[in-house]
Structure 1
Amino acid sequence: MEKVRFQEQLQAYEQWKKDIINTIEEYGPWLEENGMSSEDIQQRINHTLGTLKNDKLTIAFVAEFSRGKTELINAIFFADYGRRLLPSDAGRTTMCPTEIFYDDERDEAYVRLLPIETRLQDNTLSQLRHDTKQWVHYPLETDSVEQMQAALSEVVQTKEVPLEEAKHLGLYSPDLHPHQNQPPETVEIPKWRHAQISFPNPMLKKGLTILDTPGLNALGTEPELTLNMLPAAQAVLFVLGADTGVTRSDMEIWQHHIKGFQTGRQRGLMVVLNKIDTLWDDLREHEDIHEAIRNQQTNTAELLGVEPNVVFPISAQKGLLAKIKGEKQLLEKSALLDLENYLGQDVLNIKQQIILDTVSADVGQMLDNSRSMLSGKLNDTKYQLEELEELSDKSDDVITNLMEKTRSEQAQYLRDVDTFQQSRKQLKQQANLLTEILSLEALEGTIEQSRKDMTNSWTTSGMKNSMKNLFDETRRTMLKVVNQSEQTRKLIRAIYRKFQNEHGFAVVQPKMFSIVKYRVELELLHQEAEIFRNSPVTAMMEQNFVVKRFFSALVKRAHDIFKRADEEINQWLGSTLEPLVIQIKDHKEMMEKRLTNLQKIGQSRNTLQYRILELQEQYTELARQLTALRNMSNRLSNSRPLHHAQRQKPTLVKQNVG
């Protein structure tokens, strides 16, 4: 297989995504022009477009100190600058979690640093990222190497603080320093808690975000990193050193901060065995070196419990050097392109599937409904056309009987419409029950009581029981939502089926709310809470710090899950009958038009031919619009963001009026 650099694969992916955005932007105005739009539908389209345009691809790099992680980031993403963009010299290492991206809103290059003292606040990192006053801001002058290096070097800064201050910040525990006989007077801690680097790199401008995490100490003391940011990344690269193998601290990071949160993921997790150049030896045969590297790859895979094909032995330093100097043979030897190729295919396929699922669940379903409704109109028009053509040589009595039959059908239809209004009231009652179960006010009361119980607990065991009880209660509430939402779904399906079966409405799939994703999210969060609850790092922390971290990193996310579920349920219940409302209105107008036509034809046969011509033009236009919709649908379902040389255009259909 041809090895394709990650940049090229990302470019193909972005073009594929742009094609989808263009198609959705075409669909919105089409709905307006054809009277099938509404405020909610346009909101859904705008939401999907916003999701696609703001789509980010996050790749997290995790490693203990001195594994060459930052050098690997330089080699994969920034080699085109002809130098190391991020500081990765010997003895200098990332001291705080660092996000590397491009800020589209501010449209500028900068380094933003969050002081370590913010750990004393109750605010989460997610909340603090919006509070610009708390960050120290350094502009990046991209045309000055010296200024950029000076600004970026801040990321690795540390400072000495008294022991008590380090303990207060949750950055010291005797168990983390077993080699010390006596507690030190001062402790070296990171100067910054979090860093953000906005840089105008082409890939970063396309939505790539790189998360560079420091070693075990930072992962243990910043649970939000492990509990929120790593699981949200589309790819996690765990970097080891070929010169050290899998050390005890490497294994601890793997067990407590990566493996536990990746159990449900089949893809997106890669192990990088860096620094294989330390095994290169001119005095050994090439095959012997290759065999030694292969053995280390196999042993690492067995030790971590992963497949050997996701363990990549590479040399980031030689790969970076080869790219800068244009040495193809050295680049091949570094094996960096093997990792890049896999990264592009594996991660971008994950992102592609997420986008396809997002588009399919909302706009794709609306497109299918539009096609069904338009097909229904086309069939109704064809039926009316055939009916009028048959009347050409019929008597007035036949037309009179047809009018009476149409009036009878119309009367029955209007009675069913009245029944529909009663069903709407019943649906509102179901909505009120769901809202009552999902009461955020009740949830917040439960959370506040749990916080009091944990704070007042005299024992670690009691505190841990309060954690467990809180999540058990949220799971019970979620189960009630599952049962009630299913009852509501059944009612909605019954309302649609009545009109489809009794009046021949086109089969339209109503927008349905699925609680499954929120339930799964809560279950995964429950697993993370259990890991946090039973973690040895948690046992080392002071009680007030554990309580603060538990609520900021975990309970807030549970609250967010219920809040998002509540918002989606309200939106769902407000819009789920809209396609049927449009069909009811169209069918009513069609019946009235049909009755008017029959009345006019009964009065004057000259009207008949004119109306036939009118319906033929209407049929042709509907067929043209249906073709346009089919082409939009084909473009949306164009399956893969292939490499440019392999890209195929979606098959478009020609209008066929037969």
Structure 2
Amino acid sequence: MSTGSLSNQVEAYYGWKSNLLRELARYQDWLQNNELYSDDIARRLQRGVKLLKEDELTLAFVGEYSRGKTELINALFFSEFGQRMLPSQAGRTTMCPTELFYDRESSKNYLSLLPIETRKEDYTLAQLAKQPEKWTTIDLDMSSPASMKANLDEVAKTHSVSIEEAKSLGFHENMLDHDPVNRDLVIIPAWRHAKISMQNPLLERGLRILDTPGLNALGSEPELTISMIPSAHAVIFLLSADTGVTASDLTIWKDYITTDNADHSAGRFAVLNKIDVLWDDLQGEEYVQQSIQKVQQYTADHLDMSVEDVLPLSAKQALIGKVKADHALYEKSALPQLENLISERILAEKERLITKTLLNDILGMLQNSQAILSARLESLTEQLDEYKDKGVSKELMHNLTQKTQKDYDFYYKKLITLRSSRRLMKSQGEILQNLVSEERLEAQVRETRDRMKDSWTTIGMNREMGKLFEFIEHDLNNLASEARLAEKMVLSIYKRYTEDTRAKHLHPKPFATAKHIRALRDLKNKANRFRRDPRNIMTEQTLLIKRFFDTLVGEARLIHNRILNETITWPDEALLPIMQYTLEQKQLLEHQIRRIKTLSRNNKDARSQREQLKSMINDTQKQLMIAESIQRHFRKPAPIHLRQKVVNLAGYAG
């Protein structure tokens, strides 16, 4: 697969999402035309539109220094400039996390840098991202590779500072290099974080790259290891073919990649870079391939992963091959295999997630609407047959109106009951939210920080750390108890509702916090290990407090916020399926009553009345056909999935 093929796959993925956006707009129009639109449905559709428009695919490139992370990014995204654009040479070049993306809001090319000194402030990276005045921003001229490269070199800029200053900024002394000129000073990055917005076909379509520093700086930025790497859709773990898996590689893999709170829904992959050191013209190609396979298997065994997920390649030779248009060298570098992995495995997973989170929800809504229209069509057809058999009379029209009115009254009363139940759910939701409110947690965090500062002993500080996690666990236990009561209430509402309607297929959304609660309990165990760690026991009080709050409390906030979001959204959405079903039934019956009254009032002869009824039937059939068309478009396989099916069928046929 060539770079063009990767671009084509990303373009196809973007095109698929654009088609889904068009179908969502079409579905919205259809709902409005059939008087099935409501505020609840509007919110669900708006969430779908937001998901598709803001969807990004984040690839985190992680590895020890001198493994070639930046060189690989240069080969993937900057070869068109004919040179290395991001600073990439021997040694520790990337010391600050760097994000590569395209800013679709501003549509500008720029480099934005956050000074390292901001670590002394009590702001997270997420908070600082909303404070542009804290950042140094440089415009990038895409038409001038030389000036662009000079600006991007700023990413690798460093400062030499005293050991005390480095510690105050959160660095570990043993993880830093000493200044070769003045051994009393250590080298730290000048910048805490870098953002590069750049027009590029892949980046414009929502691909986002995270280039991380080596182990020396990786653990110094808590938000990177707590949030950014774990939330990446996929991780590309860089290793060097000439060294294999080293002790520091394993530390990064275990401590920062295969963590309990990591998402990585599209997978974790190891890249064995620098395989060109194994190329040997004297020994021959067969010997070279055997050597590569041997180190590939060794790596897979040490990382406990499938050998297919270990990709040997040479980023350096790939960049040279692309810059010099040497297709043979580019192929030999094995970069096409990584590009194939990005498109075939990682994009396919994003397609699956969109299908799971959005399409299944929309298709469920659409099927409900179709079922209601089908029932109305059946009723209208029965009425027409009755007209043919008995003729049209005032009594028949009266009976038809009464029957429809009775059905309408049934769903109207159901809707009133459900609205009352929803108010009850809102009250229950407020109880849940109060148990895990952000204000409640932050108040406890402040108290813990103050008590730790006032503590004169390590034992005292350790006790306060433990109390914070006991407080959080106590709140979660109360939340779990209240949530069980709320879920029982929802199930009883559904049970009563489905006893006397045809809505037995409807089910409530579960209260999904179990995964996050487990993660917080695992974090409590991690906090216990932190408290017992001899290195932390010997650490100066101020630094220990900062380390505890930057890492463990930061991670607790992240997980706690996910639980809070669920307590906010779940009470509103738990009754949504039967609310939608009931509202659609009521609105359709209301519409039908108006049509019957119009038919009875305006048409005195039987023939005209039958024609009016046929018109209603035809209109309903037409709306069902539109709904079926929308459903077919939503059900169309995503591009990667479709291509894989075609390949599988071709392979089977052969």
Task: Supply the distance in 1 between the matched residues of 2:340 and 2:436 (Cα, whole angstroms).
Answer: 49
1:587 matched residue in structure 2: 589
451-460 or 299-308: bigger deviation: 451-460
Q: What aligned pairs does 1:70-89 form with structure 2 within 5 A after superposition?
A: 70-89=70-89
Matches of residues 409-424 of structure 1 in structure 2 within 5 Å?
A: 410=405, 414=409, 417-418=412-413, 421-424=416-419
Q: Which amino acid aligns with 2:529?
A: N
Q: Quote the Cα distance in structure 2 between the aligned partners of 1:646 and 1:177.
A: 47
Q: 1:499 to 1:382 in 2, by over 3 A?
A: farther
Displacement of 1:545 after TM fit?
0.6
Instruction: Give the C-alpha shift of residue 424 in structure 1.
Output: 3.4
Letter in 2 for 1:73: I
**What corresponds to 1:635 in structure 2?**
633
Aligned partners of 1:123 and 1:552 also within 8 Å: no
2: CA distance, partners of 1:235 / 1:357? 18
CA distance in 2, matches of 1:229, 1:321: 31
Q: Cα deviations across residues 398-453 of structure 1 (Å, max 9, x unaligned)? A: x7488469748856864774465345324422431232122167563244225423
- 8 Å CA contact retained: 1:369, 1:508: no
Secondary structure at the aligned position of 2:64 is classed as coil
Q: Where do residues 458-497 of structure 1 align in structure 2 (5 Å cutoff)? A: 458=457, 459=459, 461-494=462-495, 496-497=497-498
| Equivalent residue, structure 1, for 2:651 | none
Structure 1 gap segments, 5+ residues each: 649-658
Match of 1:282 in 2: 281
**Structure 1 33/418 Cα, relative in aligned 2: closer, same or farther at 3 Å?**
closer
Q: Kindly tell me: are residues 478 and 333 of structure 1, through their superposed partners in 2, closer, same or farther at Cα, counting changes over 3 Å? A: farther
1:122–1:508 distance in 2 versus 1, CA, 3 Å: same
**Which residue number in structure 2 is paired with residue 448 of structure 1?**
443
Q: What does 1:198-347 align with in structure 2 at a 5 Å threshold?
A: 198-261=197-260, 267-347=266-346
Local SS of the residue matching 1:221? coil
* TM-aligned CA distance change 1:551 to 1:643, over 3 Å: closer
Partner of 1:102: 102
CA distance in 1 between partners of 2:22 and 2:421 (Å): 40
Q: What is the CA-CA distance between 1:264 and the residue it aligns to?
A: 7.2
1:431 is aligned to 2:426: yes
Deviation at 1:358, TM superposition (A): 2.2
Q: Whole-Å Cα distance in 1 between the matches of residues 642 and 489 of structure 2? A: 46
* One-letter code aligned to 2:60: A
Instruction: Tell me if the contact between 2:128 and 2:134 (Cα under 8 Å) persists in the aligned partners.
Output: yes
Decide whether the 8 Å contact of 1:275 with 1:317 is kept in 2: yes
Residue 609 of structure 2, aligned match among 572, 590, 611: 611
**Displacement of 1:600:** 6.7
Say which SS state the counterpart of residue 319 (structure 1) adopts.
Answer: helix
* Deviations 1:506-533, CA, capped at 9 Å, x for gaps: 77747x43322x4324433543564466
TM-score normalised by structure 2 residue count: 0.88
Inter-partner Cα distance in structure 1 for 2:385 and 2:327: 71
| Aligned pairs for 1:427-576 within 5 A | 427-439=422-434, 444-453=439-448, 455-457=450-452, 458=457, 459=459, 461-494=462-495, 496-498=497-499, 500-501=501-502, 509=506, 512-516=508-512, 518-524=513-519, 526-527=521-522, 530-531=525-526, 534=529, 542-550=543-551, 553-572=554-573
The alignment of Structure 1 onto Structure 2 pairs a total of residues equal to 631
1:262 shift after superposition? 7.6
For 1:629 and 1:117, the matched residues in 2 are separated by 57
SS at match of 2:194: strand
Structure 2, unpaired ranges of 5+: 647-654
What's the CA shift for 1:491?
A: 3.9
Shift of the 593–100 alpha-carbon distance from structure 1 to 2, 3 Å rule, reads: closer
Distance (Å, rounded) in 1 between the aligned partners of 2:359 and 2:519: 24
- Equivalent pair of 1:112/1:136 in contact (CA under 8 Å): yes
Tell me which moved more, 265-274 or 140-149. Answer: 265-274
My pick for the range that moved more, 107-116 or 464-473, is 464-473
- CA positional deviation for 1:273: 0.6
Partners in 2 of 1:66 and 1:321 — Cα distance?
18
Q: Match for 1:10: what amino acid?
A: V
- 2:300–2:307 Cα contact (<8 Å) kept: yes
Counterparts in 2 of 1:406 and 1:635: CA distance versus 1, 3 Å: closer
Aligned residue number for residue 90 of structure 1:
90
Query: 2:336 & 2:267 partners in 1: Cα distance?
Result: 17
SS at the partner of 1:269? strand
Q: Is contact 2:62-2:69 (8 Å) kept?
A: yes
Residue deviations 1:272-302, cap 9 Å, x none?
Answer: 1100111112222322221111111111111
Q: Residues 419 and 130 (structure 1 numbering): CA distance in 2 closer, same or farther, change over 3 Å?
A: closer
CA contact (8 A) 2:449 2:545 kept: no
2:470 aligned counterpart, secondary structure: helix
**Whole-angstrom CA distance in 1 between matches of 2:64 and 2:476:** 36
SS at structure 2 position matched to 1:252: helix
Letter in 1 for 2:429: L
Counterpart for residue 149 of structure 1: 149
- In structure 2, how many angstroms separate the alpha carbons of the residues matched to 1:211 and 1:318? 22
Asked if 2 retains the 8 angstrom alpha-carbon contact of 1:243 and 1:276, the reply is yes
RMSD: 3.3
Deviation of 1:471 after TM superposition, in Å, equals 4.0
Q: How far, CA to CA, are the matches of 2:17 and 2:491 in structure 1?
A: 35
Question: 2:632 is matched by which residue type in structure 1?
Answer: N
**Residue 654 of structure 1 corresponds to which residue in structure 2?**
none
Partner of 2:621: 623
Conserved 8 A contact 1:481-1:515: no
Aligned to 1:383: 382
Range 481-490 or range 43-52, more displaced? 481-490
Query: 1:37 is matched by which residue type in structure 2?
Result: Y
Contact 1:124 1:552 in 2 (8 A): no
Q: 1:193 aligns to what SS in structure 2?
A: strand
Q: Is the CA contact 2:178–2:185 (under 8 Å) kept in the aligned structure 1?
A: no
2:151 aligned partner, one-letter code? A
Per-residue CA distance 1:20-73 (angstroms, 9 max, x = gap): 122112111121122111233223212211210111110000011111111111
TM-score normalised by L of structure 1: 0.87
Contact kept? 1:423, 1:495, Cα under 8 Å: no
Question: Which has the higher mean CA deviation after the structures are superposed, 66-75 or 373-382?
Answer: 373-382
| Stretch deviating more after TM superposition (255-264 or 608-617) | 255-264
Query: 1:468 Cα deviation (Å)?
Result: 3.1
Question: Percent identity, aligned pairs only?
Answer: 32
Counterpart position of 1:189: 188
2:488 counterpart letter in structure 1: Q
